[in-house]
Structure 1
């Protein structure tokens, strides 16, 4: 019986651009750029070698685009007109990439006037008609039109199957995957594409018709022609108008997206037989371009870079499959192990200028600062490290030596002279500065009058790629030590290793220069290495948009907010601390009286013994430590059962926390120089993408309680100014209405109705104080994936009653239920959720056999796209805010705080009206143009003599 033939057709163009964006700039011995060539070579080597070893593939060819002009440009002169020209350093690499393909002794096929997709279509169908199976190595949506089973064969013989392979996701694309993506079978994909258009190729489609609408039209009518013909019979609507007006463009678009299936085949199918990679001419090619590490592999007989990959993966399961544990990373160029002995301690201006000149030439430098303390607003620069490549790093000390005036100080470049020399490099638009948590370094330099730009941040890149994901058994954090372990397999020196700990700890400025150099230069070296590994993954894994348009530009904005700080009224805070202390003492006396004895209320053990052993309350449970739990849920349950002591303890805890965390701590946090409080925002502290605040935390002050308002009254402006608070109104509910497509809720928001009243009317048929309160609870609870038991606890009802309310909610708003079901299905399959702006959040325990872990992940996964989109929107508003205010002639308006869905500004009182208009517009339009929502974003603005008064 003849062996089944299986042809693999590689879409080479996609490999080229992935390779280009994956690697830092590289040149060969002749000075020609070869970064993309190297990446392409490693990727193709891996593919060809794995396919040769795998069971099944028999033939392989690489298909490329020969030029930018094809017959489609003759049909429509604007086809691909908006595509930018290829990067200047990529152009000379195109012919070398063709050489690389032929060096593998693989067919490299391209034809004038045809696109690679057309050649792939012609070869795929020709092979399938001969009974061959075909796999197209690509994720291009246009090629999904070809996917099919048992393509009709020649002369009535059985035909072969055509599928696709996305090597970046290691995923097969067959008919079910195409249907999932487009809502239609592959033969109808072209009709959907014709309606929705393609902004990348500038296929016009019909303006205003997106993927969902296009899919539904084809589902409902069966074809493009039928969908267009149906317009005349539709009721008057925007859709009807668009279909009628856009008919000709849709028909043209259908021709543009159609694949040419009858191209001449310049290489015979039989000449594509897949064999082992021969040593020549590959060896000569690798030698010519200086690819020594690959040359060693060839000499060792190794087939591919060392990364286990399956190129014949099983079709992924739609449920119960484990979430992907790691990123889809191609093997990077080999880097030498970290060698701290190679680092230079720069102690003269001559050597510093040498490093600066090299950095200006390199156009890319990793930087890191060493300081006298962790607080960027209350510390001194001790030194700076630079890295230009692996083990190519230095440390420039400024402030080393003992604190004793008689202590001997080592030779160093004076700080003023060093910073003056570094300023042109740090401020040069032509040099990319890379940091790990570079926000801290921006503040240190800004305090010396240096504005560092442009920047990249490896911590933020890691967050954009791997939020929530634990890799290789190492945690999922984004600190340097963790990233170095995870991605480089290298354990970095720690601050404790260098400075010690406890009473014996010394300031970094007292560390001997040889040890300080090892520690500081290693930080810059590791940062450079991480950047070379992580930055290319953004393009490969779809993280570029959220990083470039949301996260990276936010770094400098947040750093500036932290430097501004906010003024607090020390006298007011001291008065509150005194009031709280008196009230705490009073409640403490009442608790002791109820207990019948004195005890330490802050001790969980003593409190548990009092509540459950002495007072005999039910519901006590002991943990592994043998003591009773007295957490908030336990105390709230006891209070609900009528235990007055439980409520007193809750009141005592709240006051003690507010006193310790805010009224006392805020006084201690006032900067002695600025007389303001400078919180520190983390851009990677919350899994959904929200900012988090520490030292001090300004985001957990109670919003609606009288005590919380008292604390906010202590946040005040400078004399002559006011504080302005701008708050998104119910943004998560608005996003849910839009993302889940819930017509009643969208209508309510569009008409400015009270959303909770509308929900109460839909749910209970009547609106009063009680039904509105219940509706409000349900609205938010459902978005957090609450269980019947959780909702019952919040509403004070039985679980059955709560379930009935959930069922009624889904009955009235079926879009919400569809959203939840669809979201969970996608997360279970892919392992991550995604915001409207493409931010991924990974849920590695979504398919856990542990029920608590699985259900916790499910609840978080339901909310993550909504809360994450909300976070992206307010971040986009923050990035655009200061330029918009400056353009409006309002540069004196300062943005000080971001808390939940709110931005807080300080400004002259006379600028309130003008600034309010700008702030409202920027916030309301923050999603545009990347995302168009079906509901308006409401913004509430207030101002006053304190933060509380601004609400």
Structure 2
């Protein structure tokens, strides 16, 4: 039956429901796999209440939930800064979007979204059609943008306030009738959606002007006659911007839809389908409630295969700070040590004066053996008040003697029968090692989370606590302050410090109780036990040992770079025809695009031209000056980031640089180096390679570098099952030359370095999903030629395309991809549309390859200390596929032989690759020579 008089259409703003559900409820995860479902639960409850409340004679005859489609809309084409101010979507909400669509369908309610349009446009089109057909329409939303649709049978319902918004309600909100709402919005703008509007004119002034002049167009035409100078100037100077703003806020009422209002007729849900969905989400309460309403038996929702009460009860216990204790004497400490031995495990956390483990001092230790009961042992708090910036050197009263306390803790913390649990345990292990305590064995809640949820969210304690324990920890800023007035932890009064520190240990224990059993449920126990946990002491030892850096070499390099930069500046000024600040993007943009008239100039929000690396690399094919600027920037970065900054990182006591590795930083398992970052030293340029000359061996010792040869290409050949590549690796053939021969029909004995270089760029580019545009930029060749290279590559090696397609399909189905060793790398954005879609697919394709390579070198690092224990050698650094050692001169050959064997056999026995892993070795007095 055609929709018309007597019919009533309800249009539900789905996005509003989702965000309201997300922010109104505490975080909730599905017990069986940790999938975030809090917003889905709230959405289902809201939808169920809506269905229950809309029965009887006044019930709608037609209903739909309208969602925003991900990606850009036609408004972004009109104004690329539209909604640019919006904050990023919370990571744990992203995987819930498709589940809310599934929930809508499970309730048998129409679920609609259209690519390129916002939900408001779909609502506008349907509301206008309902009005034109003579029917009624209720828009269930409080979004002010939809108020322009009210009138002629269309009303809004603010479900939160249970308030109907009719024509009078719109006038109350905007000061004008619904048909003039867009005029007011065009003038007032919208900071949330980044609609510019007229500067200095708000809602009230806009309404006053529109009521006086009748319409926006009339107002703008007669703006010159406005008496108030600021209003007059704003309207006259910004007419184009105001007109654009009206286009942005005007809803589209004439969309072409592939469905009609008649398709939205109210339908009863299928009980089995609805209950199956609710059971799949593990919503036990909602399942029972729905079953009662539907008059059927509620499905049995099985508990995960663990003792759920044991897992959940401690973690869910209330946080009661009154049960936290401050340990002030030996008797109290001994009581806690006795409790720890009786329990067999303890959560441990250290408090220090800073974040640099090699320079921070130990201030105190917190302990917890039972959820809700924790203690803090203060050791080095000063007598100064928290608001006393300088404090005093005197120790505060009520603390044990440091040496006495450490002597009591040491046997327990080193006892192999007591498990020590920490959050980012590497930090605490290094702090305690510096006072003579070697903590072992350990468990790490940060790494447990990382093993299960890599790619979904970060793994800091505060986030994990809020996510899994529904508890926001005490903020460290409330104790230390911020900025110039910030104090160190030893200046915090002991009573305040105790609550904070004891809570940290309490949270850590609860997280352990929650996350530990789920390693098995999520089938990542082997990943945690073989790749994450055993790496902690290995990295801690490497970081503490550090690597010697020659300050004089760095100083000479800084001076040399400064001279080269001056020479480049002179060349650049000569090409430009005048002097300007090469380091100023604004001045550079003016030279490139205004004065030299080079193509592609685009201005950003500030009105300055974009002059980023991508822009300059494109322009370098048109003119020499952009290339010189890139060279200048490279030298400037080398100088500021390395040759200058590295001198500040040399430890005053050791004379060495002590980097810190982040185990849980990258979702693929690659380690990240910080303070300083030694993994991003550029080695593709001569100047970048020179920086490694400053990393030197001690007198009588040599640096040995061992590097996996083309490991990611080898893993690709195995995973994608490419016979040609596998055979080439087995035969020891130059893979880049082989690729060039296959693609360009050039015999191997006639291969030129230029052709091989192109093949190398394609080989590595394909792993990272490079586009024709990206390859053209790398090789500085026309885009069509670059795309032809890529097309030929896939024709010659079809298995690679199959691998890519299969990997993306797997990621879409499961929400993650896997390495050969079982590491899960979640892909929450794999279903995204628009500009993020390509990146998400490329990341998913690359992740199993890069992740497997990362797992291989982790396995090698874990085995290495035992393998080289009999040699006078230390493992110093890990940089991507390379390990760097320092060894006594007479043991170089022995170290090389042992380490090479460990690295080449690292995948065994878990994974037997179809291609051999080859490690290349080098040695010398400094890193540059060794590599």
TM normalised by structure 1 equals: 0.64
User: Aligned match of 2:442 in 439, 447, 455?
Assistant: 455
Indicate whether 1:874 and 2:857 are aligned: yes
Q: Cα–Cα, structure 1 residues 628 and 408, in superposed 2: closer, same or farther, change >3 Å?
A: same
How far off its partner does 1:818 sit? 1.6
**1:503 matched to which residue of 2?**
484
In structure 1, what is the Cα distance between the partners aligned to 2:786 and 2:591? 34
Structure 1 residue 797, shift from structure 2 partner = 4.2
Secondary structure at 1:713 match in 2? helix
Match of 2:832?
848
- Cα distance in 2 between the residues matched to 1:369 and 1:462: 20
Contact 1:577 1:663 in 2 (8 A): yes
Cα 1:584–1:801, aligned 2, differ >3 Å: closer, same or farther?
A: closer
Match of 1:820 among 789, 804, 807: 804
Name the residue aligned to 1:437.
424
CA contact (8 A) 2:860 2:906 kept: yes
State the distance in 1 between where 2:400 and 2:696 align: 42
User: Structure 1 unaligned runs (5+)?
Assistant: 1-38, 41-169, 171-275, 277-295, 305-309, 314-327, 470-475
- Pairwise CA distance, 1:302: 13
After superposition, residues 107-122 of structure 1 pair within 5 angstroms as: none
Q: CA deviation at 1:336?
A: 1.9
The whole-number CA distance in structure 1 between the counterparts of 2:289 and 2:401 is 54
CA offsets 1:658-714 (integer angstroms, 9 cap, x no match): 111111111111101111000011111222110011111101111232112211111
CA separation in 2, counterparts of 1:613 and 1:502? 41
* Match of residue 885 from structure 1: 868
Q: Which residue of 2 aligns with 1:677?
A: 657
What's 1:575 paired with? 556
- Partners of 1:589 and 1:800 lie apart in 2 by 36
**C-alpha distance in 2 between matches for 1:302 and 1:677:** 62
Q: Which residue of 1 aligns with 2:816?
A: 832
Matched, 1:563 2:550: no
Question: What number of residue pairs does the alignment pair up?
Answer: 631
Partner residue, 2:611 = 630
2:631 paired residue number: 651
SS in 2 for 1:640: coil
Measure, in 1, the Cα distance between the counterparts of 2:838 and 2:697. 45
Distance in 2 of aligned mates of 1:359 and 1:837: 35
Correspondent of 1:391 among 372, 375, 389: 372
Displacement of 1:787 in angstroms is: 2.3
Deviation readout 1:97-155 (Å, 9 max, x if unpaired): xxxxxxxxxxxxxxxxxxxxxxxxxxxxxxxxxxxxxxxxxxxxxxxxxxxxxxxxxxx
- Residue 584 of structure 1 aligns to a residue in which SS? helix
User: What's 2:743 paired with?
Assistant: 763
Which secondary structure state, in structure 1, belongs to the residue aligned with residue 443 of structure 2? Answer: strand
Structure 1 residue 511: Cα displacement: 0.5
Q: Which runs of 5+ in 2 are unaligned?
A: 1-30, 33-98, 100-274, 276-283, 293-297, 384-389
2:408 equivalent in structure 1: 421
Partner of 1:946: 926
Paired with 1:371 and 1:592, the residues of 2 have a C-alpha distance of 51
Alpha-carbon separation, structure 2, partners of 1:837 and 1:329: 28
Q: 1:780 aligns with which of 745, 764, 770?
A: 764
Distance 1:822 1:534 in 2: 31
Question: Could you tell me whether the CA contact under 8 Å between 2:816 and 2:825 is conserved in 1?
Answer: yes
Q: Aligned equivalents of 1:439 and 1:926: distance in 2?
A: 23
Relative to structure 1, is the Cα distance of residues 303 and 336 closer, same or farther in structure 2, using a 3 angstrom cutoff? farther
Q: Distance in 1 between matches of 2:527 and 2:603?
A: 46
CA drift at 1:588: 2.6
* Counterparts of 1:303 and 1:480, CA distance in 2: 39
Q: In structure 2, what is the equivalent of residue 514 of structure 1?
A: 495
346, 350, 360: which one pairs with 1:369?
350
Tell me which moved more, 818-827 or 557-566: 818-827
CA offset digits 1:481-528 (Å, max 9, x no partner): 111121122111222110111222112111111110111111111111
Say whether the 8 Å CA contact 1:393–1:521 is kept in structure 2.
yes
The counterpart of 2:708, out of the listed 725, 728, 751, is 728
Tell me how large the CA RMSD over aligned residues is: 2.7
Q: Deviations over 1:451-491 (max 9, x none)?
A: 1111111111111111111xxxxxx1111111112112211
1:743 to 705, 723, 740: 723
Partners of 1:329 and 1:537 within 8 A in 2: no
**Is the CA contact (8 Å cut-off) linking 2:704 and 2:885 kept in structure 1?**
yes
Please give the alpha-carbon distance, in whole angstroms, between the structure 2 residues aligned to 1:690 and 1:554: 12
2: CA distance, partners of 1:303 / 1:905: 65
User: How many Å apart are 1:645 and its aligned residue?
Assistant: 2.4
Provide the rounded CA distance (Å) in 2 between the counterparts of 1:405 and 1:493: 26
Deviation (angstroms), 1:798 = 4.2
C-alpha distance after superposition, 1:693-745 (max 9, x if no partner): 11111011112321122111110011000000000000000111111111111
- What does 1:179-578 correspond to in 2, within 5 Å? 332-334=311-313, 335-402=316-383, 407=394, 409-469=396-456, 476-578=457-559
Question: Is the CA contact (8 Å cut-off) linking 2:382 and 2:393 kept in structure 1?
Answer: no
The residue number in structure 2 matching 1:924 is 904
Q: Deviations over 1:542-600 (max 9, x none)?
A: 11111101111001100100001000111111111111122223323333344344443
Is the 2:382–2:392 Cα contact (8 Å) retained in structure 1?
no
- Aligned mates of 1:416, 1:303 — CA distance in 2: 64
* Offset from partner CA, 1:155-203 (integer Å, 9 cap, x none): xxxxxxxxxxxxxxx9xxxxxxxxxxxxxxxxxxxxxxxxxxxxxxxxx
